[in-house]
Amino acid sequence: MTKYLVPILLACAVISGCSKTTSGNACDGWRKLTPTLESALKITMDDRQFANQVASHNAHGSKAGCWK
């Protein structure tokens, strides 16, 4: 078992050294939610909490400058 310890540790060191760091953006992975009028009405009538979450998501993205 100890005979494989050094090669495994070296392999881990090599693999971890290959990672690339990029400068992230607060908007990465975000997209404005744009339901159709029919969907928006249905969601507002049937699931008000989700409608509020969609509005909050879009307001946050606007405030962060991810979209206009």
Q: Would you list the domain boundaries of the chain?
A: 32-68
pLDDT, tens digit, 9 for 90 and up, residues 37-54:
999 999 999 999 999 999
Strands (E), 1-68: none
Q: Is the dihedral of CA 34, 37, 38, 43 positive or negative?
A: positive
Q: What confidence score (pLDDT) does residue 55 get?
A: 96
Q: What confidence score (pLDDT) does residue 56 get?
A: 96
Please tell me the pTM assigned to this model: 0.60
DSSP H or E stretch at residue 5: helix 2-17
Q: What confidence score (pLDDT) does residue 33 get?
A: 95
pLDDT > 90? residue 60: yes
